[in-house]
Protein backbone atom coordinates (compact mmCIF):
# COMPACT_ATOMS: atom_id res chain seq x y z
CA UNK A 1 0.00 0.00 0.00
CA UNK A 2 1.45 3.45 -0.93
CA UNK A 3 2.48 5.61 1.99
CA UNK A 4 -0.16 8.16 2.99
CA UNK A 5 1.57 11.45 3.78
CA UNK A 6 -1.66 12.73 5.32
CA UNK A 7 -1.10 10.33 8.23
CA UNK A 8 1.52 12.75 9.56
CA UNK A 9 -0.68 15.87 9.40
CA UNK A 10 -0.67 17.73 12.75
CA UNK A 11 1.40 14.88 14.14
CA UNK A 12 4.42 14.53 16.37
CA UNK A 13 7.38 12.69 14.86
CA UNK A 14 9.95 11.45 17.35
CA UNK A 15 13.56 11.33 16.20
CA UNK A 16 15.23 8.27 17.72
CA UNK A 17 18.88 9.06 17.03
CA UNK A 18 21.19 8.12 19.90
CA UNK A 19 24.45 9.94 20.49
CA UNK A 20 27.02 8.15 18.35
CA UNK A 21 29.10 5.84 20.51
CA UNK A 22 26.97 6.60 23.56
CA UNK A 23 25.36 4.03 25.86
CA UNK A 24 22.07 4.21 23.90
CA UNK A 25 23.70 3.56 20.52
CA UNK A 26 22.31 0.03 20.07
CA UNK A 27 19.61 -1.33 17.79
CA UNK A 28 17.53 -2.80 20.61
CA UNK A 29 17.52 0.51 22.47
CA UNK A 30 16.58 2.48 19.34
CA UNK A 31 13.70 0.07 18.77
CA UNK A 32 12.67 0.49 22.40
CA UNK A 33 12.70 4.28 22.10
CA UNK A 34 10.67 4.04 18.89
CA UNK A 35 8.00 1.78 20.34
CA UNK A 36 7.78 3.86 23.51
CA UNK A 37 7.33 7.00 21.40
CA UNK A 38 4.54 5.36 19.44
CA UNK A 39 2.89 4.25 22.67
CA UNK A 40 3.02 7.88 23.80
CA UNK A 41 1.19 9.07 20.70
CA UNK A 42 3.87 9.75 18.09
CA UNK A 43 2.54 9.72 14.54
CA UNK A 44 5.88 8.66 13.08
CA UNK A 45 9.59 8.23 13.64
CA UNK A 46 12.83 9.66 12.32
CA UNK A 47 15.60 7.05 12.33
CA UNK A 48 19.28 7.32 11.36
CA UNK A 49 21.16 4.57 9.47
CA UNK A 50 19.86 1.76 7.32
CA UNK A 51 20.59 -0.76 10.07
CA UNK A 52 18.45 1.06 12.62
CA UNK A 53 15.69 1.71 10.08
CA UNK A 54 15.64 -2.01 9.33
CA UNK A 55 15.45 -2.89 13.03
CA UNK A 56 12.61 -0.44 13.69
CA UNK A 57 10.75 -1.46 10.55
CA UNK A 58 10.76 -5.06 11.79
CA UNK A 59 9.00 -3.87 14.94
CA UNK A 60 6.38 -1.49 13.50
CA UNK A 61 4.55 -0.57 10.31
CA UNK A 62 4.22 3.07 11.39
CA UNK A 63 5.78 5.85 9.25
CA UNK A 64 9.57 6.11 9.26
CA UNK A 65 11.66 9.01 8.01
CA UNK A 66 15.06 7.51 7.28
CA UNK A 67 18.41 9.21 6.89
CA UNK A 68 22.11 8.43 6.98
CA UNK A 69 24.65 10.71 8.64
CA UNK A 70 28.23 10.80 7.42
CA UNK A 71 31.25 12.96 8.25
CA UNK A 72 32.91 13.56 4.88
CA UNK A 73 36.39 14.96 4.29
CA UNK A 74 35.43 16.87 1.14
CA UNK A 75 31.95 18.18 1.98
CA UNK A 76 30.12 19.69 4.97
CA UNK A 77 26.97 17.81 3.96
CA UNK A 78 26.15 15.10 6.52
CA UNK A 79 22.59 13.96 5.88
CA UNK A 80 22.18 11.24 3.22
CA UNK A 81 24.96 12.55 0.97
CA UNK A 82 25.28 9.53 -1.34
CA UNK A 83 22.94 7.80 -3.76
CA UNK A 84 23.99 4.53 -2.13
CA UNK A 85 22.57 5.85 1.15
CA UNK A 86 19.20 6.35 -0.54
CA UNK A 87 19.32 2.80 -1.87
CA UNK A 88 20.15 1.40 1.56
CA UNK A 89 17.37 3.35 3.32
CA UNK A 90 14.79 2.33 0.74
CA UNK A 91 15.86 -1.29 1.06
CA UNK A 92 15.63 -1.06 4.86
CA UNK A 93 12.01 0.10 4.74
CA UNK A 94 11.99 3.89 5.13
CA UNK A 95 8.78 5.53 3.89
CA UNK A 96 10.34 8.98 3.63
CA UNK A 97 14.01 9.63 2.94
CA UNK A 98 15.55 12.84 4.27
CA UNK A 99 18.53 14.50 2.61
CA UNK A 100 20.56 17.69 3.08
CA UNK A 101 19.08 20.25 0.68
CA UNK A 102 21.50 23.11 1.41
CA UNK A 103 23.45 24.88 -1.32
CA UNK A 104 26.89 23.56 -0.43
CA UNK A 105 29.65 21.46 -1.96
CA UNK A 106 28.39 17.88 -2.08
CA UNK A 107 29.23 14.49 -3.57
CA UNK A 108 25.83 14.17 -5.33
CA UNK A 109 23.46 16.84 -6.59
CA UNK A 110 20.22 17.36 -4.72
CA UNK A 111 18.32 16.69 -7.94
CA UNK A 112 20.01 13.30 -8.30
CA UNK A 113 19.12 12.42 -4.70
CA UNK A 114 15.45 13.31 -5.22
CA UNK A 115 15.34 11.32 -8.45
CA UNK A 116 16.85 8.28 -6.72
CA UNK A 117 14.37 8.56 -3.82
CA UNK A 118 11.50 8.65 -6.30
CA UNK A 119 13.02 5.77 -8.26
CA UNK A 120 12.40 3.66 -5.15
CA UNK A 121 8.86 4.98 -4.77
CA UNK A 122 9.70 6.86 -1.59
CA UNK A 123 8.87 10.41 -0.48
CA UNK A 124 11.69 12.97 -0.47
CA UNK A 125 12.15 15.22 2.56
CA UNK A 126 14.48 18.16 2.04
CA UNK A 127 16.32 19.18 5.21
CA UNK A 128 16.77 22.93 4.71
CA UNK A 129 18.69 25.78 6.33
CA UNK A 130 17.10 28.79 4.60
CA UNK A 131 14.02 29.53 2.53
CA UNK A 132 15.95 29.35 -0.75
CA UNK A 133 16.80 25.71 0.01
CA UNK A 134 13.10 24.93 0.32
CA UNK A 135 12.18 26.68 -2.93
CA UNK A 136 14.88 24.83 -4.83
CA UNK A 137 13.93 21.48 -3.27
CA UNK A 138 10.27 21.88 -4.18
CA UNK A 139 11.23 22.78 -7.76
CA UNK A 140 13.28 19.57 -7.91
CA UNK A 141 10.34 17.48 -6.75
CA UNK A 142 10.74 17.08 -2.99
CA UNK A 143 7.36 16.50 -1.35
CA UNK A 144 8.35 17.72 2.13
CA UNK A 145 10.61 20.53 3.33
CA UNK A 146 11.97 20.73 6.85
CA UNK A 147 13.63 23.40 8.96
CA UNK A 148 16.09 20.76 10.18
CA UNK A 149 19.29 22.60 9.31
CA UNK A 150 18.27 26.17 10.19
CA UNK A 151 21.31 27.73 11.84
CA UNK A 152 23.46 24.62 11.45
CA UNK A 153 25.44 25.82 8.43
CA UNK A 154 27.20 28.54 10.44
CA UNK A 155 29.90 28.49 13.12
CA UNK A 156 27.53 28.65 16.11
CA UNK A 157 24.81 26.05 16.62
CA UNK A 158 21.36 27.48 17.45
CA UNK A 159 19.47 26.77 20.66
CA UNK A 160 16.00 27.90 19.52
CA UNK A 161 13.81 26.70 16.65
CA UNK A 162 13.51 28.97 13.61
CA UNK A 163 9.74 29.42 13.58
CA UNK A 164 9.99 32.33 11.16
CA UNK A 165 11.52 29.95 8.62
CA UNK A 166 8.73 27.44 9.29
CA UNK A 167 6.12 30.14 8.61
CA UNK A 168 7.89 31.25 5.44
CA UNK A 169 8.12 27.67 4.17
CA UNK A 170 4.42 27.18 4.87
CA UNK A 171 3.72 29.92 2.33
CA UNK A 172 5.45 27.75 -0.28
CA UNK A 173 3.91 24.37 0.57
CA UNK A 174 1.58 22.87 3.17
CA UNK A 175 4.05 20.02 3.78
CA UNK A 176 6.48 21.66 6.17
CA UNK A 177 8.17 19.72 8.95
CA UNK A 178 9.39 21.81 11.88
CA UNK A 179 12.57 20.31 13.29
CA UNK A 180 15.53 21.49 15.33
CA UNK A 181 15.75 22.68 18.93
CA UNK A 182 12.12 21.96 19.74
CA UNK A 183 12.77 21.22 23.40
CA UNK A 184 9.42 21.76 25.09
CA UNK A 185 5.76 20.95 24.41
CA UNK A 186 5.12 24.69 24.17
CA UNK A 187 7.65 25.05 21.33
CA UNK A 188 6.13 22.06 19.53
CA UNK A 189 2.71 23.71 19.71
CA UNK A 190 4.17 27.03 18.54
CA UNK A 191 5.71 25.29 15.53
CA UNK A 192 2.33 23.89 14.53
CA UNK A 193 0.73 27.30 14.96
CA UNK A 194 3.47 28.77 12.74
CA UNK A 195 2.25 26.55 9.92
CA UNK A 196 4.05 23.24 10.31
CA UNK A 197 2.41 20.15 8.85
CA UNK A 198 4.11 18.05 11.52
CA UNK A 199 6.73 18.53 14.22
CA UNK A 200 9.88 16.51 14.91
CA UNK A 201 11.27 16.28 18.44
CA UNK A 202 14.48 14.42 19.10
CA UNK A 203 16.97 15.23 21.85
CA UNK A 204 14.33 16.29 24.36
CA UNK A 205 12.84 12.79 24.21
CA UNK A 206 15.50 10.33 23.05
CA UNK A 207 18.88 11.81 23.93
CA UNK A 208 19.14 11.72 27.73
CA UNK A 209 22.69 13.08 27.55
CA UNK A 210 21.47 16.30 25.94
CA UNK A 211 18.31 16.72 28.00
CA UNK A 212 20.23 16.09 31.22
CA UNK A 213 22.78 18.74 30.27
CA UNK A 214 20.02 21.35 29.80
CA UNK A 215 18.72 20.69 33.30
CA UNK A 216 22.26 20.60 34.70
CA UNK A 217 23.08 24.02 33.25
CA UNK A 218 19.84 25.47 34.64
CA UNK A 219 20.44 24.00 38.08
CA UNK A 220 24.07 25.19 38.16
CA UNK A 221 23.00 28.69 37.13
CA UNK A 222 20.38 28.82 39.89
CA UNK A 223 22.87 27.55 42.44
CA UNK A 224 25.37 30.23 41.46
CA UNK A 225 22.69 32.94 41.71
CA UNK A 226 21.65 31.75 45.14
CA UNK A 227 25.23 31.72 46.36
CA UNK A 228 25.95 35.23 45.07
- 27 close to 58: Cβ distance less than 8 angstroms: no
The answer to whether residue 136 is domain-embedded is yes
State the Cα–Cα distance between residues 35 and 30, nearest whole angstrom: 9
Which pLDDT score is estimated for 1? 45
CATH code for the domain in which residue 138 is found = 3.20.20.70
Q: Which of these, 212, 158, 213, 216, lies nearest to 187 by C-alpha position?
A: 158
How many distinct structural domains can be found in the chain? 1
178 Ramachandran zone, left/alpha/beta (phi>0; psi -120 to 50): beta
**What is the residue range of 110's domain?**
7-227
Report if residue 176 sits inside a domain. Answer: yes
Q: Is 42 in a helix, a strand, or coil?
A: coil
Q: Is there a domain that residue 181 lies in?
A: yes
- CA 71/CA 186 separation, integer angstroms: 33
* 1 occurs within a structural domain: no
Q: Is the pLDDT of residue 54 over 50?
A: yes
Note the pLDDT of residue 163: 97
Does 191 fall in a domain? yes
50 in a domain, yes or no? yes
Mean pLDDT for 14-33 is 96
Amino acid sequence: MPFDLHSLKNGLVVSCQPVKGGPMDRADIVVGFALAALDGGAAGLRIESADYVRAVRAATARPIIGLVKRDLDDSPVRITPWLEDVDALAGAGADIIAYDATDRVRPETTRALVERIHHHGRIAMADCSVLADAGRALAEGAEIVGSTLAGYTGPVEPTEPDLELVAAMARLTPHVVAEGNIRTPELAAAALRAGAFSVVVGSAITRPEHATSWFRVAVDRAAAERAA
